[in-house]
Structure 1
């Protein structure tokens, strides 16, 4: 006899079989009614997302070949890619700042979303990366939905060192003074604008100079920052009791000069800059710039032009001498090298030079500029200078006396030299050299053929001297009571005639005066020329 429970289970199984058979028959009839694949593809896709619909419709066949169907990739890109890009590019236009997250009052601000390199500050909220001692550009943030870089930076769009951040509900940001310490106007309050401010870190600035070191820590040249290229992204900061360290990615155009070539040219550079703010110092210091690639070589930049590392390589075959090669360190850019068998071809007897060993700061011969009388021949050249006494001529040296080499600096204009100032044919006054201790730099040397068929040697030397200027008075002469001390710049032309043993200054052209008179002459297009007074 069948129990009631078994009868109920059999009834449920029969009902389930009938339901499954009815669903199967409906699905079969549906596929039988569809006559082609196009009808299947044309069915409504109610459950698909918009992007799925576009992709599904884009994959419709454009034609048939023997091996299969061909789909249009162009139509797929036109329909699907724009929608995907539109979804990816959608970014929030605002940022919610909660001051409680930085350990301050639980105030909440909604501001325009800053760029990745910007650090916001508004009300009592100050980004923890904003630290006194580092340089920042401060840009007012716009209203929500606008470009966060649409406003110009404060303080004439320049980066200044942040000196302090005040306390209280409204924070006062004080920056370094640019005009006067007693009247510093470089400050603002964090609640001056309800939209807030964005701070942009600047580790390196235009005009900064560095020494280039290779992987072996040997100096190879120098670089000067000409122009910054884009923002500087802070990637890390480390706080300790003794200092605060920041690292930032930097990009800039630098004037690169390698010691071996001596040629400077601008190049795009990038690297990782490291700056440290020490505890008892008011401003951060650049420690180094790493991973700088120049001509497919990786270098490190250290701040400042370290003259002791400057290297000059000279070769004897360049002057048709013994095929030797020397590397000298510590020469100034305006000094001419003399080492071993090598004497720079610009060193000419008859001109005046100051001599300095490359490993010292002091000059030989008491720092005086002496006239070079002769250069000997042989492996070690003897350089003989004008003696103090004809009975005991001891102002000479050998090119190999100093293993580190010598640097010779040309001197065209000396103390107490007198000049007549002319503008065309008109005499304007007289000038007497009072100080001539700044370097004088040789620009070029030329050989000029004379009427006798021989050649004179002319050197063009940049000078920067202090002179007593006396203005000429009508009727001739100069008014000595109205003498003025002025700084004079110019290009001195020094000429050594053939068969003469001494060179003389024949004129100083392209003269500039550190005075308001220079403005007057410039406005009237008057060129001043200094001629030696006879």
Structure 2
């Protein structure tokens, strides 16, 4: 075996040992731990021979629980290809206690480790994030820095979305990771005979949560748990997060997270007693958050005659009435309430259904903006151009409904604020306003539509679309000049 000689001066700062040759075979030495503590409390000795490698020993600062050291020929056995890591240069052994830690490599991004080279200087290559396959600059050698490096695993990233399941494996809501509150710590690693790897990583995050049975109220709460990562032939993926705890004061435990959001699993519970109707309680599964529920004797109170809606059965991807947006004319009374829309022909009206026609319920999506609608575009009191809606396929989400008193009239006006995302053909006005340029720009437009129904009117009218944003470089121009765009419908 190879023998390593240490310097006689034990107080020297040598970080590598001198390998002088092969000696006679020695009796087998019991396996050593990953690293051993030295005489100093804040130092550890990394022995590569304990990993079956070149018997080089390195004296480094004690890594934190979430850190995995890589230095020279020593690579922590928990560092595996196919997993995501953030990498930071290790602090020097003689660094002052309060000195600033070195910055993360690769702009602080967690990248997937693709390969680990061989030899004394081992090249560690990562995913080509921000570069090309032929010119991948995301790599370094294990001996690039005498002080070494520390790896920090990332199992759950900002922006990841999950579905929340209870102990009975029933979906209860969804969440999205907004912030990492603590470093993620690897707790366990299992390597199977077929080469697959399973890791268990402790995570502490701040998430945006939407509970199905809490009227779509979104909250920011801490979420902790143990993420289970599995790697086969490809990269590692999170299969689930177990032992999940949600909240602080009212801590909820025993949940499980599964990657992705499945709208078909979304469940809401409604009760007729909430709207002063027959006290029947229903559970509706499969509606989107922007769809208002109708089931049995229950009709969501936000569904008001005089507004446009699209209707979809909860157990189907296909909408009723060929997917068209229709004007709701009336809502009947009784157990099975007839919901009637504006007919295509007065002699043979067919645009209606009963609230109990579909046992699984239906969802009604409010619609404010439709294709071929025309607008004038104004800003700061001046005419900026004209627009015509080309496509309005995306969901339109109701923000709130208001009932407003109207002086001199009986009853109240109904106002709805609806988020819209449409594609428009836009013609911009020439300098000075007035005339409109002939050049047409196709751009995406988002904003809040105000729709109002007067007490003596049968149909609501679109008043304006405000808080407008454009998916165009023009949006930067308007934002720089503090111009607030407003779309006014043309008759």
The two structures have a TM-score, normalised by structure 1, of: 0.80
- Please point out which of 245, 251, 264 is paired with 2:204: 251
Partner of 1:162: 113
SS at match of 1:451: coil
- For residue 384 of structure 1, give the secondary structure of its aligned residue in structure 2: strand
1:336 matches 2:285: no
Any idea what the Cα deviations from partners look like across 1:121-171, whole Å, max 9, x if unmatched?
Answer: 122221111111111111111111446982222112222221222223221
Alpha carbons 1:140, 1:197 under 8 Å: kept:
yes
Alignment pair present for 1:107 and 2:56: yes
How far residue 198 of structure 1 moved from its aligned partner, in angstroms, is 0.7
What is the deviation of 1:239?
1.2
Which among 228, 232, 251 is matched to residue 274 of structure 1? Answer: 228
Of 375, 379, 384, which residue of structure 2 is paired with 1:428? Answer: 384
- Cα distance in 2 for residues equivalent to 1:386 and 1:170: 76
Q: Give the CA deviation at 1:242.
A: 5.5
- Contact 1:93 1:144 (8 Å CA) reproduced: no
Paired position in structure 2 for 1:174: 125
**1:358 corresponds to 2:314:** yes
Q: For residues 392 and 242 of structure 1, what CA distance do their matches in structure 2 show? A: 68
SS in 2 for 1:446: strand
**Alignment check: 8 A CA contact 2:212 2:268 kept:** yes
Partners of 2:387 and 2:427 within 8 A in 1: yes
Deviation at 1:238, TM superposition (A): 1.0
1:477 and 2:421 aligned: no
Kept in 2, the 8 Å contact 1:113–1:144? The answer is no
Aligned position for 2:136 = 184
- 1:110 positional shift: 2.8
CA distance in 1, matches of 2:327, 2:130: 47
Partners of 1:250 and 1:149 in 2: CA distance: 25
Map of 1:29 onto structure 2: none
Other-structure match for 1:93: 42
CA distance in 1, matches of 2:483, 2:433: 22
- Asked if the contact 1:308–1:331 (Cα under 8 Å) also holds between the matched residues in 2, the reply is yes
- Structure having the higher helix fraction is 1
Q: 1:392 to 1:185 in 2, by over 3 A?
A: same
* Range 327-336 or range 177-186, more displaced: 177-186
Match of 2:469 in 1: 512
Larger radius of gyration: 1
Q: Tell whether the 8 Å contact from 2:447 to 2:469 is kept in structure 1 after alignment.
A: yes
In 1, the alpha carbon distance for the partners of 2:420 and 2:111 equals: 35
Deviations 1:245-277 (A, max 9, x none): 000122222223321113222222321111111
Contact 1:95–1:110 (8 Å) recurs in 2: yes
Change (3 A) 1:343 1:91: farther
Corresponding position of 2:237: 285
More strand by share: 2
- Map of 1:122 onto structure 2: 71
User: Does residue 1:198 correspond to 2:154, yes or no?
Assistant: no
State how far apart, in whole Å, the 2-side matches of 1:475 and 1:247 are: 63
1:373 paired to 2:322? no
CA distance in 2, matches of 1:302, 1:523: 42
1:455-500 per-position Cα deviation (integer Å, ceiling 9, x unaligned): 21111111111111101236843222x1111111111111112222
Q: Distance in 2 between matches of 1:95 and 1:216?
A: 46
Instruction: From the superposition, tell whether residues 297 and 105 of structure 1 become closer, same or farther in structure 2 (CA, over 3 Å).
Output: closer
Task: Tell me the SS of whatever aligns to 1:420.
Answer: strand
> Is 1:441 aligned to residue 394 of structure 2?
no
How many equivalent pairs are there?
444
The DSSP-based 3-state class of the residue aligned with 1:163 is strand
**Cα pair 2:409 2:455 within 8 Å, conserved:** no
Q: Secondary structure at the match of 2:255?
A: strand
Question: 1:70-85 maps to which residues of 2 (within 5 A)?
Answer: none
Aligned counterparts of 1:533 and 1:180: Cα–Cα separation in 2: 48
Secondary structure of 2:49's counterpart equals helix
Aligned to 1:406: 362
Provide the residue aligned with 1:218 in structure 2: 170
Does the aligned pair in 1 maintain the 2:229–2:239 contact within 8 Å?
A: yes
Q: 1:307 to 1:174 in 2, by over 3 A?
A: same
1:91 offset after TM fit, Å?
5.0
Where do 5+ consecutive residues of structure 2 fail to align? 1-36
**Is the Cα–Cα contact under 8 Å of residues 306 and 329 in structure 2 kept in the other structure?**
yes
